[in-house]
Chains A and B, each alone.
Chain A
């Protein structure tokens, strides 16, 4: 079946604007994860969902970041009042369950001007 799908692939926006990033996980995967990766850096965990609930929001860098998941499927990561330091690739992954290998989408490359 299809892999993890993210949209948009690229997003360029002005500082101060809000952005929404979308993730469609692999069908049947109950766990969904968001990561941020700055150029040349490692993966930075942001948040994960089990079903529609987010037990661990500890990775969200500020209150400008929020995420939701509906129908135990699609997830949206929203960044309000974007700052230049938000520029990065935002990766979504899903897995059958905890402890299971995660499968990543292609990512959204976000550039804040």
Chain B
């Protein structure tokens, strides 16, 4: 099993839809979790950290499920500008750096 896995997509949704992505991780000792957004031919940008109790930032909600070893990102009321690739990043226990998933592509259409 890969350390961090994401469905590559693409997820095609209309404007206004709610969409959710999951990211599974293999090491139960993982402690830090993040979601990044990467636009085409741009660098990844931090979207939000993921806290144990779950957290929300506007239309974005991040959750952690330790029992099943995955994190999720929920986007409500999708905008055209949300079209991007969403990367999860996990601090794999015993390592000192983050391990990134390969990303899930989201395409929001009018």
Using a CB–CB cutoff of 8 Å, the interface residues on chain A facing chain B are 31, 33, 41-43, 45, 48, 50, 55-56, 91, 98-107
Contact = CB atoms under 8 A, between A and B. Distances in A.
Contact of A99 (B42, B45, B91): B91
Given A99-B31, A101-B34, A43 B87 contact: yes
B97 A43 contact: no
A77 to B, nearest CB: 15
A103 B49 CA distance: 12
Interface of B: 31-32, 34, 42-46, 49, 87, 89, 91, 95-103
A50 B95 CA distance: 13
B32 A99 contact: yes
B32 A42 contact: no
Nearest to B32: A99
Contacts of A48: 96-97
A42 B101 contact: yes
Contacts of A41: 102
